[in-house]
Every structure is written in C-alpha cells, then in structure tokens.
Amino acid sequence: MIRPARPDDVESILGLIRELAVYEELEHHMDVTADALREDLFGGSPRCEALIAEADDGTTAGYALFFPTYSSFKTRRCLHLEDVYVTPDARGRGHGKALLATVATIARNRGCPRLDWNVLSWNQPAIDFYGELGAEVLSDWWLCRLEGDSLVRVASLADKIE
C-alpha cells in the first residue's frame, strides 16, 4: 500500500534515507536531522512531499521523496523525484513500481509534463528497473553541483560583478 507520509513517519523516513546513503556510498554527505526533515515535509511552507510504501504487515517497506521544479521549455511546473528507496528485504514485491507510479500519477494530476530523477551510473539494477518502465536515461546530460566551499566561492563572485 502506498500512502502520503505523516509527521509520525519522519524517524522512519530518516532511517531509510540513511540506508539509501549507505547503499549509494554517500553517507559522508549526510547532514540531516529529524527536525529539519519534519519542517521540510510538514512545516508552514513544505519544500517537498513524501510517500510511504507499507508492507502487508504494516511495516515501512520504502519511501519516495519529491518536489516541484519548473521547465522553461514547457513553461509548466514539473516534479523531481529526489529519492525512491525500498528496503532490501522488501524488494521484488512491487513497492518501487508502486511508489514511482504514484508519483507519476501525482505529476499527471497536477498537469506536469515531466517527472525527472537521477540515477547513479553504477546502479545497474535501478537503471534496468527504470528502463523496464519506459524511462529514458539521458546520456547527453550531466548533473552539475556546487556545494560547500565551491558554493561559497561562486556565491562570493556576485559581490564582484557590476
């Protein structure tokens, strides 16, 4: 069963985010607290939304976290799927497909022309899963990122531009 996340799911979602970070070998980038996640999901101005996949026994089997983006080429709001994660013991039971299908339904219902997400180049099981669903892996687009000192350095350039 897929359902919208509730405030009492925050600790569970946080644990799943940690599991995902370990799986992706990115735990050294984690800087998240339950309070910050709760505020971003359920505060006065939510920044993102989450869905929960529940196993038949009622335990949390996975989650999806997504937020709105914008396409200048479509001049419409789109959705970005930040995370879709299913616990190892719950994989192969349709939870990932159900999470992705639910986010796609939300995008369609909101009039979004597109749903985007990223996948690590080495994560072949995920790439295969997305391909089976008809997703296009864009090999001609590269993700760029500024963070930490690089973000500070580039932001400081604004003071020098006239």
The per-residue pLDDT of the chain, averaged, comes to 94
Phi, psi of 53 (to 5 degrees): -100, 120
Residue 71 three-state SS: strand
Question: Of 23, 63, 85, 130, which is the active-site residue?
Answer: 130
Tens-digit pLDDT profile for the chain (162 aa)? 999 999 999 999 999 999 999 999 999 999 999 999 999 999 999 999 999 999 999 999 999 999 999 999 999 999 999 999 999 999 999 999 999 999 999 999 999 999 999 999 899 999 999 999 999 989 888 888 888 899 999 999 988 776
Residue 143 three-state SS: coil
Task: Return the pLDDT at 162.
Answer: 65
23 counts as catalytic: no
CA proximity to 95, closest of 134, 120, 69, 129: 129
The DSSP code for 70 is E
For the chain, give me the number of helices (H) and strands (E)?
Answer: 5, 5
Q: How many residues does the chain have?
A: 162
Read off the tokens for 15: 């644990």
Architecture of the domain made up of 2-160: 3-Layer(aba) Sandwich (3.40)
Residue 160 three-state SS: helix
**Using CA atoms in the order 148, 143, 96, 40, what is the torsion angle rounded to 10 degrees?**
40
Q: For 45-76, write each residue's pLDDT tens digit.
A: 999 999 999 999 999 999 999 999 999 999 99
